[in-house]
Amino acid sequence: MESVRTSELPGCVARHRSVIRIRVGVVALGLVLVAFGCGTSRTAESDRAEPMTTSVPSTARPGQAPGPADNRRAAEAEAKRLLALVVPPPASIRLGSAPSSLPGPIMGTTNATSQIDDSAFWRVPMSMSATLAWLKVHPPGDLTLSGSSTSSSTGAMVSANGYLYYAPSGGQIQLSVATTGATSSVLRADGIDVWIDPVAYSDDSPGPRLRVTLATACPATDGGIVGVTNPPPPLKKSMLPTASPTAGLICQYYGLNGHPFTLAASKPLSATAARGYADLIAAIPLGHIDGGSTSCPDDVGTATVAAFAYPDGTTTDVWATTSGCPTVSNGYILASGSIPPAGLSPSPSKLG
């Protein structure tokens, strides 16, 4: 299991008690943020769409949970498939390597180590503007244009331009065109996908933790708290036990604003409500993109604790940060995702 600090998580900001910290990256799993818009980019101006999410089936055998290698192979196959959708203009000549004017995709890429980029290059007997016009009316696989980008290296003179297409699978195609003369240009095509590491992050942030049970009720404050703690056996492959809870309790806390780090609202859950709420938490994906960074809104320290009672007499707690880039954790593992508001008043969005 990979161990990372919360502040290094894609889609996640560490919860600090004295100041608001915003994790800012340069990427897009939006992933553009973890998927395409946060890496090195030559883009001078662009019209970006929502980032990609990976949804290509893994190559795991039936009945077997997909592992990192299965997901990587699936992403490699998808990147190759996307690249094959690109049709260059007539009389284009395939090149063996990237032209110096197009060393990478013009829209930029994520710095995630789990990114797959399959590329191809051509010399085109058309001007840059003519090549761009041809590509616009011959989109790869009839995909809809999602964005465009312009780059210049000599003052105001445009030296490269490109198009971005998001695929239904979650991958993307980037087409980059650079001028080489009045009647010639070079074309770069990239089929890009990101594979998901199915192993959750470790919830190992140092600091005090809460232990909430239905008998003890909600603590009055969560000041200085970094998460919850749960007794063994450790829950490292799921956020909650597989059994259905018999009851629950929700504790919601102010962050830096309002009444700082005090209990804002609490709500007991019936067996039916607890089961439904637990199902929503269990549906949060535990996987993550390896590497990369993301931009997050202000983290004002709001948090929610959900405690679930089970038929064997045990209680399992879940800790959720509800501002910045939300995360959910149980003392053993941590995942990027939002915990449902559970109908409390004030709602988490109003606590900050």
pLDDT digits (tens, 9 = 90+) for 95-122: 999 999 999 998 887 777 889 999 999 9
Report the C-alpha gap between 99 and 187 in whole angstroms. Answer: 9
Three-state DSSP state, 73:
helix
- DSSP designation for 41: -
- Residues facing 47 on adjacent strands: 148
| Model confidence at 289: pLDDT above 50 | yes
Tens digits of per-residue pLDDT, 143-186?
Answer: 999 998 877 655 545 588 999 999 998 899 999 999 999 999 99
Whether 293 has a pLDDT exceeding 50, the answer reads yes
Rounded to a whole number of angstroms, the distance between the first and last alpha carbons of the chain is 33
- Determine if residue 241 is left, alpha or beta; phi over 0 gives left, psi from -120 to 50 gives alpha, anything else beta: beta
- What's the mean pLDDT in 251-276? 93
Asked whether residue 239 carries a pLDDT value surpassing 60, the answer given is yes
Quickly count: other Cβ atoms within 10 Å of residue 272's Cβ: 10
CB 316 within 8 A of CB 240: yes
CA angle 68, 206, 5 (to 5 degrees): 35
Cα distance between residue 161 and residue 42, in whole Å: 10
Looking up tokens 């051509």 gives: 122
Closest CA to 133 of 177, 181, 94, 91: 177
